[in-house]
Amino acid sequence: MNFNIDGKLSSDPSTPGNLAEHASFSPFKLKPNMVFHAPRNDADEIEYVFTYACIAKGVFSFNLMARTADVDEATVRKLIDDATTLTGGVMKVENMKITSPDTWQECGAALEL
């Protein structure tokens, strides 16, 4: 399945992570989306990217993307805790859905990387 994403990068150098996007088939205007943290490893390569998207008033999407698919759940939970600290607890993450390689194997939709 493929679908296109429309969006705009920030034009303000003081806020480079402020983006706007949505699926290109959406009838709605672009929604705010922010890359708010990108931890790096010892080689100064980005290892993870934290994004926040405003869906509707009081509804958000938080995504933690990793460079590799084999991040264990304990590391993911620590990174979620880091995001909670970074945002001052604004995001309510108690019911966070964590998708892991095992989850993909269980549902039969595993990706071959």
Average pLDDT, the chain: 75
Domain for residue 51, yes or no?
yes
pLDDT of residue 26: 60
**Strand (E) or helix (H) holding 52:** strand 48-56
Domain for residue 70, yes or no?
yes
Contact 49, 68 (CB under 8 A): no
Domain for residue 113, yes or no?
no
Q: Is 4 exposed, middle or buried (0-12, 13-18, 19+ CB in 10 A)?
A: exposed
Domain for residue 43, yes or no?
yes
77, pLDDT greater than 80: yes
> In terms of pTM, does the model score above 0.75?
no
19: left (phi over 0), alpha (psi -120 to 50) or beta: beta
> Dihedrals φ, ψ of 34, to 5°?
-130, 130
Domain for residue 41, yes or no?
yes
Contact 62, 51 (CB under 8 A): yes
DSSP letter at 69 equals S
Residue 95 sits in which domain range?
A: 5-107
Domain for residue 112, yes or no?
no
Give the number of domains in the chain. Answer: 1
